[in-house]
Structure formats: C-alpha cells, structure tokens
Structure 1
Amino acid sequence: MQQSNTYVIVFSAVLTIILGLLLSGTSQVLGPMQQEAIALDKKKQILGAVISSAEIDAMTPEQVNEFYANRISSTVVDINGKEIASAEITAEKVDIAKLYKKPAEERQYPVFIFHAEGNLDEVESYIFPLYGAGLWDAIWGYLALETDMNTVGGITLAHAGETPGLGARITETGVQQRYVGKKVFDDSGDLVAVQMMKGEGKDYTGEEHKVDGMSGATITANGVNNMLKSYLSHYEAFIRSKSSSQAVAGL
C-alpha cells in the first residue's frame, strides 16, 4: 500500500533522529577508548627510540603505561630552548602535526626525557619529536640523543602513506638501526644532522653523519633528511644548553 508523503517524511525524520542518537552514543562510548589507544601508540613510538621494538611488543598496554610513567618525564620548550611554564601545555598534549604549518618561532616543542631505572635524577637520553613530508603524505618520528647531546641513541620513524616495500621501509627496525651511534654535530660544532644516502648497499660505518639509503625510495629518504635537519635546528638551542664543551666540539 502506498504511504502518504507526510508518513514518509515523518518516518525518515524519526529514523534519522534514532540513527543520530545511536551514532552519538557509540561515539561517546568509543571516544575515550580511541583516545587511550592513540595515547598508547604515541608512548610506544617515544619508547621505541630508546628500547627495542621486541621489548615493547612483549609488554601489555598496562606495562607500557607503567614503564612510561616510571622512566619518562617531559617538558615543552620554545625555539630559543626556554621551557614553557604552563599547566595547560604539556609535552603529551602538544600536537606536532597541527603546529607544523605555523612559523617555527611560534611552535611549542616537546622534549621527552628517558631516566635510569629507579632514578629520576639520572638522565639516559633526550627524545625529540620529528615531523615532515614524505613522497605521498606526512612522515614523523622520535629521535633519541644520548647525554652528550650529539650521539644518536635510537630513532623511530612512521608514515601516513609511503609506498609499501619502498619508502614505507622507514618503519623497519633494520633501517632505523642504521642511525644508532651516528652524530648530529660535526667536529667544528656545526649541526649537520644525519643524512640517508641515495641507493642501498654501501657501508657507511666510518661515516658519522651518513646512513645507507633505501633502493627506489629517494624522495622518502630526502623527506627524512629534511625532517631531521629541520627539527634538530628547531631544538638546537635546547640541545646546546644541555651539552658540555667536552661532548661536542665548539659548543
């Protein structure tokens, strides 16, 4: 039997309201869970710069949160290396991606500090967030510097849409391990960062500022290079304030 136009309109309106309420309720229920998952993933990426992925994978979410709380402290600085004293601005809440389009001098820069087990007074590494552009989309990561503020202790790299088997390889442990032990300042004390070279298969063991590249992924590699140099320059004032003259020549 054909229904009247009024019936169809009322039925559609009621159905829309019901579906809207269901979606809203689902969002209210799942929203906190999604935020917890995002926060957990961020903690894993930060920790990945200082401990192995195997160690992280072996932890439950509760263990990750506990390890992070016991070993990581944080602060936020400006481009001049000065700490930003504000209860509302915390390192965990600073959104590097949203700030990326702002002028460098207007951004806030989180710093994560990795402490010795059972001793929050002893620092083992400083961890710096990174953000940039790859071939197709955003790339980001976390770089750990040892307490000499020159030696790379570790790095995690991630991407939004690099090519599988090519640029997406920046997430591989083997690629990231190439950075460990490299230096970001040269013998004159100039910031040079670490450069991923074009091509793959060369030995850069004796090169303090170079790592082997990824075959067929030159543009992604260049994106990583630009990201490292750019963000290290933004953190340079802070890095120099924490370094000693013995650790980095010229600082």
Structure 2
Amino acid sequence: MRQSNTYVIVYSAVLTVILGLLLSGSAQILGPRQQEAIALDKKKQILGAVISAEEIAAMTPDQVNEFYSKRIASSVVDINGQEITEGGVTAEKVEIAKDYKKPADQRAYPVFIYHADGNPDDVESYIFPLYGAGLWDAIWGYIALDTDMNTIGGITLAHAGETPGLGARITEGEVQSRYVGKKIFDESGELVAVQMMKGEGKDYSSDEHKVDGMSGATITGNGVNNMLKAYLGHYEAYIKAKSSSTAVAGL
C-alpha cells in the first residue's frame, strides 16, 4: 500500500533523529578511547626515535605509558629557543599539524628530553617533532639528537598517503636507519641538515650530510629534506643554546 507523503517525511525525520542520537552517543563513549589511542601512538613515535621498533612492539600500552613517564621529560619553546611557561601549554598537547598553518614565529615548539631512568638531569637525547608535505599528503616524524646537539641518534617518519612501495617506505626501519650518525651542522657551524639523495643504491657513508634515496620516490624524499631543514631551522636557536651550555659544562 502506498504511504502518504506526510508519513514518509515523518518517518524519515524520526529515523534521522534516532540515528543522530546513536552516533552522538557512540562518539561520547568512543571519544576518550580514541584520544587515548592517539596519545599512545604519539608516545610510540617519540620513543621510536631513541629505542628500536622491536622494543616498542613488545610493550603493552601500559608499559609504553610507564616507560614514557619514566624516561621522557618535555618543555615548549618559541622560535628564539626560549621556554614558554605561560598559558599552561604542554609539549604533549601542542598540535603540530594545526600550528603548521601559522607563521613560524607564532608557533609553539615541543621538546622531548630522553633521560636516564630516574634521573632527569642525565640527558641522553633531545627529540624534536617534524612536519611537512610529501607527494600526496602530510608527512611527519620525530628526530633525536645526541647531547652534542649535532649527531642524529634516530628518526621516525610517518605519512598520511604516500605511495605504497615507493614514498611510503619512509616508515621502514631500513630507510630511517640511514640517518643515524649523520650531522646537521657542517664544519663552519652552518645548519645544513641531511639530504636524502635522488635514486637508490649509492654509498654515502663517508658524507655526514647525505643519505641514500628511495627509487621512484624523489618527491617524497624532497619533502623529507624540506621538512628536516625547516624544522631543524625552527629549533636552531634552542639547539645552539643547548650545544653551548653542554660545551661549557664539559670544560
């Protein structure tokens, strides 16, 4: 039997309201869990710059959170390297992707400090976030510098939509390991970062500022290069200040 237009409209409206309430309720229930999952993934990426992926994979979520709380301290600085203490801002809550749209001198810059267990004063590495653009979408990561503030101790890289088997290889441990031991400053003290070269299969072990590229992924590699140079530049004042204080302390 054919229903009237009024019936159809009322039925559709009621169904829309019911579905809306269900979706809203689901969002309220799942929202906190989603935020916990996002926070956990961020901690894994930060830790991935200083410990192996295998170690992290072997940890339960509770173990990751415990390890992070014991070994990572953090602060937030401005582009001049000065710590930001006002406004209740914390490094874990700074949204790098959102801040990326702001002028560089208006952003907040998180610093994550990896220290010995139980001794925040015994610093082992400084970890800095990275953010940029790949071939198709955003790329990001974290880079760890040794206490000389020049040698790369590790790096994690991630992406939103790079091509599988090509640009998406930036997430592979073998690609990321190419950066370990490289230098970000040249002999004159100029920030040159590290360049991923075009093509793949060449030996750059004797060059402190170059790593082998990824076949068929030149644009993604260039995106990584630009991201590294830009964000290390944003942290340069902080890095040089820490480098100077470390040198003085070592005298």
TM-score, with length taken from structure 2 = 0.96
- In the TM superposition, 1:1-251 aligns within 5 A as 1-244=1-244
Q: Secondary structure at the match of 1:36?
A: helix
Identity %: 80
Q: Give deviations 1:64-122, integer Å, cap 9, x for gaps.
A: 01100110011110000000003531111111111112111111101000011221221
Per the normalisation by structure 1, the TM-score is 0.96
1:148–1:244 Cα contact (<8 Å) kept: no
Q: Deviations over 1:18-74 (max 9, x none)?
A: 111111100100111111111100000000000000000000011001100110011
Counterpart amino acid of residue 51 in structure 2: I
Tell me the SS of whatever aligns to 1:178: helix
**Which has more helix, going by share of residues?**
2
User: 1-side partners of 2:154 and 2:171: how far apart?
Assistant: 13
Contact 2:195–2:209 (8 Å) recurs in 1: yes
1:91 maps to a residue whose letter is: A
- Residues 182 and 209 in structure 2, CA contact (< 8 A), matched pair in contact too: yes
State the aligned residue count: 247
Question: Which runs of no fewer than 5 residues in structure 2 stay unpaired?
Answer: none
CA shift for structure 1 position 17: 1.1
d(CA) in 2 for partners of 1:161, 1:6: 46
Letter in 1 for 2:40: L
**1:131-184 deviations in whole A, cap 9, x for unaligned?**
011111111000000000000000000011111111110000000000000000
For residue 49 of structure 2, give the secondary structure of its aligned residue in structure 1: coil
Distance of 1:64 and 1:91 partners within structure 2 = 18
Q: CA deviation at 1:4?
A: 2.6
CA contact (8 A) 2:147 2:246 kept: no
* SS of equivalent residue, structure 2 residue 208: coil
Q: State the alpha-carbon separation in 1 of the partners of residues 3 and 197 from structure 2.
A: 70
Aligned-residue CA RMSD in angstroms? 1.2
Deviation of the 1:10 alpha carbon: 1.9
Q: Which amino acid aligns with 1:221?
A: G
Partner Cα distance (1:222, 1:82) in 2: 30
Q: Which runs of 4+ in 1 moved over 4 A?
A: none
Q: Say which SS state the counterpart of residue 128 (structure 1) adopts.
A: strand
